[in-house]
Structure 1
Amino acid sequence: MIQSLAYFGVKSPAYKEWETFGPEVLGAEFVGNGPDGAVRLRIDDVAYRLVIHPGTHDGVAYIGWSMKDEAAARALADRVAATGIQIERATAEQAAERSVEGFYAFRDPVGFRHELAWGLMHATAPFRPGRALTGFRTGDQGLGHVVLGVPELEAARRFYMDVMGFHQSDTVQEGPIKAHFFHVNGRHHSLAIAQPPIKKPAFLHLMLEVNALDDVGFAYDLCHERGVPITRTLGRHANDHVVSFYMHTPSNFRIEYGWGGMTVDQDLWVPRHYDSATLWGHVNQHRELSPFLYVYDDNDNGAAA
């Protein structure tokens, strides 16, 4: 069983910009470069959770999920393999690059690369935020959440629930757009999926949750001061109750920066249905900026894998 969202990797020609964007805007800690020059960012006691690799275009490289141990990762990998999907076991060098004991990797039917990792390395040195910050809400709830755009909503829902083992939190039907939200721990959702109008595999956003509402407010002001595009204004979600805003990153994907997410009890939670994702705020801005980041493939032109 997946325990949490462990780490997230992208490829981008603007990867070097994250050495300042990560600490100075997000409040993450820059902890050096990977073998390929990748920018590694830390937000808690885990060695690093965000990795931005060099690339010819912007795209999602991998989504890492934390597993209890190798046996749990192998069991889930076997279940995925039973659907006909090819599974790869990480080499010792690949595991060392992720700072984990090991992982199994595969591409889901949508095209996203998932890594089922165990033995995340924890640093002994305390986390040092890049700017004044109370810290990020992680721990057992993991990195935050990811939202994926999928061409066929029902097929993707069945795969993520029936094969990967995610649990339904709720659904939102807002006009023609329907979204499913899934949890694997106390975080309301670690994964959400929606069917975008373009009907291609697309990454919609990564959510980071901080420990105080003031942290959100300070980041909001900082984005205005630095000219970082705010693609959705400050607002509160109806389903997970997070107060947040969305910023556009140097690598052309959005980060939701929020506080106040509800905790769900997996044994008692009853899925709900909403007619809107937002209680108030979250007004769309900068419509000229695409909300979609595609799957990364070294052999394509950045459109889709």
Structure 2
Amino acid sequence: MIQELSYVGFASPRFDEWREYGPNLLGAKLAGEGPDGAVRLAIDDVNYRIALHPGETDEFLYAGWGMANETDLRAYADQIGERGVVVHWGDESLCKEREVAELAWFCDPWGLRHELTWGKTATPNSFQPGRVMRGGFVTGDQGLGHVVFQVPSLVEANAFYADILGFRLSDRIINDHFNVRFYHINGRHHSLALAELPGHVGFNHLMLEYSSMDDLGRAIDLLRRNNTEIMQTLGRHTNDLMTSVYIGTPSSLQIELGYGGLVVDDLSWVARTYNKPSYWGHRYTRTAMESAPGIIRPIDQLP
């Protein structure tokens, strides 16, 4: 089974701006360059977890999902292959670029690329935050954070991500404005969320969780200095209890910066349905209302 969200990759014509944005605002460590000049960011002792590649347009490129070992990876690849997923194996150069021992990849029904890996390279005691921080990021056995995809049909998406890939439902938020399903693969309340946007597919946001509320507050204080807009104001979610703020980036996607997320236990967890996303806060700003909700494309305009 998949055990963690291990890494993510994007393309952007403004990729180089992440050299300042990542360390100075987020607190990530600048972790060198990829073979194509990609900006790499680390948030723990894993050599890098976020890659921003050069590109003519803003694009979501891939999400990397970590497996325990080579046996689990091969068994899982065989399992989903038997259920109709076309699985490709990465060559030595791709594994070297991603800094993993082994890699297999596939696409979801709308072309979103996912990579299955094991053996992501880490260097003990190597993480140094890019700005002054009281703590660090919540990673470990909870992985990088969470990602949210926009999909044209939640019924079809659930059939793929839950029934075939094995993501486990944490809960749902359904009202006149939201139809979102949240899935876990470890103790983090959700490593994946799927939001329905008929006729469209894409990437909404990446969540990074701080281990100290002070580091979240400091990030908010640094927004103006880093010329970064708030997309949703500080608030607390109903389902995962995360206190967070949503901010813009140089590359269309949003980042949710959070603190205090819920940890789930499969032995006792019961999925709920909520009718609102937040107890308080998370108000959309004018900038958010005038912007696209992430890196989104109509499904008839997929490359």
Q: TM above 0.5, one fold?
A: yes
Give the aligned partner of residue 60 of structure 1: 60
| Number of residue pairs matched by the alignment | 299
Contact 1:168/1:182, CA 8 A, preserved across alignment: yes
Give the aligned partner of residue 9 of structure 1: 9
Q: 1:211 to 1:181 in 2, by over 3 A?
A: same
The C-alpha deviation readout for 1:204-262, integer Å capped at 9, x for no partner, is 11000001111111101111333201100000000000000011100111000000001
Give the SS at the match of 1:224.
coil
Aligned AA (2:210): V
The C-alpha deviation readout for 1:37-87, integer Å capped at 9, x for no partner, is 000100001010000001110011000000011221122222322233321
Give the aligned partner of residue 24 of structure 2: 24
The C-alpha deviation readout for 1:255-286, integer Å capped at 9, x for no partner, is 00000001100121110110001110000013
Structure 2 CA distance for aligned equivalents of residues 258 and 4 of structure 1: 18
Contact 1:62/1:112, CA 8 A, preserved across alignment: yes
- C-alpha RMSD over aligned residues: 1.6
Give the aligned partner of residue 97 of structure 1: 97
Structure 2 CA distance for aligned equivalents of residues 124 and 168 of structure 1: 33
Gaps of 5+ in 2: none
Q: Counterparts in 2 of 1:1-305, with a 5 A limit?
A: 1-133=1-133, 134-197=135-198, 199-285=199-285, 286-294=288-296, 304-305=302-303
Aligned AA (1:287): M
Structure 2 CA distance for aligned equivalents of residues 303 and 17 of structure 1: 27
Structure 2 CA distance for aligned equivalents of residues 87 and 144 of structure 1: 25
Q: CA deviation at 1:111?
A: 1.6
Q: TM-score, normalised by structure 1?
A: 0.95
Aligned AA (1:228): T
Structure 1 CA distance for aligned equivalents of residues 79 and 196 of structure 2: 25
Structure 1 CA distance for aligned equivalents of residues 98 and 186 of structure 2: 22
Contact 1:144/1:209, CA 8 A, preserved across alignment: yes
Structure 1 CA distance for aligned equivalents of residues 265 and 85 of structure 2: 32
Aligned AA (1:304): L
Structure 2 CA distance for aligned equivalents of residues 278 and 211 of structure 1: 21
Aligned AA (1:181): F
Single out whichever of 242-251 and 172-181 deviates more from structure 2: 172-181
Give the SS at the match of 2:224.
helix
Contact 1:136/1:211, CA 8 A, preserved across alignment: yes
Structure 1 CA distance for aligned equivalents of residues 138 and 42 of structure 2: 13
Give the SS at the match of 2:71.
helix
4+ residue runs of structure 1 moved beyond 3 angstroms?
A: 302-305
Q: 1:176 to 1:232 in 2, by over 3 A?
A: closer
Structure 2 CA distance for aligned equivalents of residues 115 and 274 of structure 1: 31
Structure 2 CA distance for aligned equivalents of residues 259 and 78 of structure 1: 37
Share of identical aligned residues, percent? Answer: 46
Q: CA deviation at 1:175?
A: 1.2
Structure 2 CA distance for aligned equivalents of residues 254 and 156 of structure 1: 22
Q: CA deviation at 1:110?
A: 2.5
Structure 1 CA distance for aligned equivalents of residues 11 and 195 of structure 2: 23
The C-alpha deviation readout for 1:18-48, integer Å capped at 9, x for no partner, is 1111100110000111110000100001010
Give the SS at the match of 2:240.
coil
Structure 1 CA distance for aligned equivalents of residues 226 and 250 of structure 2: 13
Q: CA deviation at 1:171?
A: 0.5
Aligned AA (2:302): A
Give the SS at the match of 2:48.
coil
